[in-house]
Structure 1
């Protein structure tokens, strides 16, 4: 392959990776899809490809659709063990973030909610909301009619909105104060204060350190508060699991303020917050090492702020 063809592909790599990540919710799977698209680009009759960006977008989209429809993916998602892979602010895989829709489409909350969509609905929604493709182009990418594209996006918007619980574009400083207060209450054991900081319909999802077969879900303020208090309560067993006494940092993960537990230079746990109207609406706790692999790569190259809690 000539250098010009490689350069043309590389110019699209970040955009393709961002598209694949939004469709699959997994950075590792997204990287595989982009690499597969490169192999197809390498083998293609490139002289006959009029618009390389459009061709590559279609190839990556269909590779992701094949993955979403695969027996393995269906089993993992149906088993209730699937959770999006979190990404640290600045990761190019997060893609465009100029509009609210683009930022929301990559949040852990929306990536989780998109599991309720069919693969085609998910693809149409992402192409429209995150990348602003017109319906005529979406139709060409997905091999459907333009009216079908409009219907898929409309249904997807309704389904996501129907179960959307939190996340607003409020004052970042005020949101940080809420997260810091929530963390302080969790560390002190003031469960009643945790309850007061939660919305009436607050939820929490945890991967149980990656040890549970299914995700752990909590759906009342009292149960969410109890889960949070138990999770943040320091114990010797947790210190051994974390490889030491972690410090706690606040950082942006998938556009949401998050608390990261860090031992040395390794993130051993992340809790992402969705805040709505001054209260915590949902939490996503992730501690499985494989889900934190890419975030850890970024963290080691990141210059973090001072920890809000220096040691557990």
Structure 2
């Protein structure tokens, strides 16, 4: 077999594993961009490896992806300022089709909306052990090799993580009332109706905006309403979406590029918190619905 043929076979074998590896990395890291980087690094390591020494390619690649992902998690912990999307980790955005709550439960289970939020509360070792074992059925002995722990210790780490996941309150599914409040905010902002904005905003509402220059926070209904009427002038198109299970809107400019992603926390028919992403780099890194 020629070197070219061997290289092609390795590439084909890797491509057959790519989707699974990307899924593993994404569940561990909560970031599509980081997951893509990890998978690419795994390919580069495979290309440098003598494949004749690999008995189980799928297992070898899973171990490599796990180790790289663990390094990323530990780096985030050591340097919080370098974490993906400061204040907005692991955003999952899906089109809001107006389904009833029961249907959204199924949707949340399918794409892992609730789980991504819960996993952020786990330490690096806990997160890796839980994801690899509970979601991808990787044996504890193999996970232990990644963590540098025994199989028994790894099993205890995964068990501890599982208890935390089960104890964490599941985010509520979006309700009709929450959608109506979000829509009322959008309509008032687009129409420049300051008084209508004040009616749907809690007096102590907290606004967090992720901009290219960093995270900006504003407090109070008056400040938030003033800013909303200003920003809405630049919106050409918008679409209702769910952001980690919360009602929100995705907006585009005239040229079709994403302008902003906004989500609302609604309590007792009032908006108590708003999170907005306007940083083009972060918007580009997210898997966003296409305009309809």
Does the TM-score normalized on the shorter chain lie above 0.5?
A: yes
Q: What TM-score, normalized to structure 2? A: 0.71
1:234 is aligned, of 229, 232, 241, to 229
**Structure 2: distance between partners of 1:70 and 1:127:** 19
Q: Does 1:209 align with 2:214?
A: no
Written as runs of structure 1 = structure 2, the 5 A alignment for 1:66-85 is 66-70=71-75, 74-76=79-81, 81-85=86-90
Query: How large is the RMSD of aligned CA atoms in angstroms?
Result: 4.2
Summarize the Cα distance change of 1:122–1:137 in structure 2 as closer, same or farther, 3 Å threshold.
Answer: same
2:32 is aligned, of 24, 27, 34, to 27
**Structure 1: distance between partners of 2:217 and 2:164:** 22
**Structure 2: distance between partners of 1:124 and 1:277:** 38
Residue 208 (structure 1) shift: 3.7
Residue 160 (structure 1) shift: 4.3
Question: Is contact 2:182–2:264 with CA below 8 Å preserved after alignment?
Answer: no
Summarize the Cα distance change of 1:89–1:190 in structure 2 as closer, same or farther, 3 Å threshold.
Answer: closer
Show the counterpart of 1:261.
251
SS where residue 64 of structure 2 aligns?
Answer: helix
Question: Is contact 1:121–1:153 with CA below 8 Å preserved after alignment?
Answer: yes
Show the counterpart of 1:285.
276
- Deviation per residue, 1:25-62 (Å, 9 max, x gap): 33222222111100111111212212211111110110
**Structure 1: distance between partners of 2:138 and 2:71:** 21
- Deviation per residue, 1:223-282 (Å, 9 max, x gap): 6xx4995387221xx257xxx234321135556654212223222222346789999897
Residue 122 (structure 1) shift: 1.3
- Deviation per residue, 1:178-206 (Å, 9 max, x gap): 443022332433555555xxxxxxx9773
Question: Is contact 2:209–2:277 with CA below 8 Å preserved after alignment?
Answer: yes
Question: Is contact 2:181–2:269 with CA below 8 Å preserved after alignment?
Answer: no
- Deviation per residue, 1:122-156 (Å, 9 max, x gap): 11122234334454553355443333233222322
SS where residue 79 of structure 2 aligns?
Answer: helix
2:23 is aligned, of 14, 18, 22, to 18
Q: What TM-score, normalized to structure 1? A: 0.67
Q: Does 1:54 align with 2:49?
A: no
Question: Is contact 1:20–1:61 with CA below 8 Å preserved after alignment?
Answer: yes
Question: Is contact 1:186–1:232 with CA below 8 Å preserved after alignment?
Answer: no
Q: Which runs of 5+ in 2 are unaligned?
A: 1-5, 96-104, 189-195
Question: Is contact 1:166–1:282 with CA below 8 Å preserved after alignment?
Answer: no
Question: Is contact 1:261–1:270 with CA below 8 Å preserved after alignment?
Answer: yes
SS where residue 28 of structure 2 aligns?
Answer: helix
Residue 217 (structure 1) shift: 9.2
Q: How many residues of Structure 1 are paired with residues of Structure 2 in the alignment?
A: 269
Q: Does 1:138 align with 2:138?
A: no
Show the counterpart of 1:183.
182
SS where residue 211 of structure 2 aligns?
Answer: helix
Show the counterpart of 1:248.
238
Residue 164 (structure 1) shift: 3.6
Summarize the Cα distance change of 1:41–1:281 in structure 2 as closer, same or farther, 3 Å threshold.
Answer: farther
Show the counterpart of 1:40.
45
**Structure 2: distance between partners of 1:98 and 1:141:** 33
Q: Which runs of 5+ in 1 are unaligned?
A: 91-96, 169-174, 196-202, 305-312
**Structure 2: distance between partners of 1:30 and 1:112:** 17
**Structure 1: distance between partners of 2:28 and 2:165:** 15
Question: Is contact 2:201–2:270 with CA below 8 Å preserved after alignment?
Answer: no
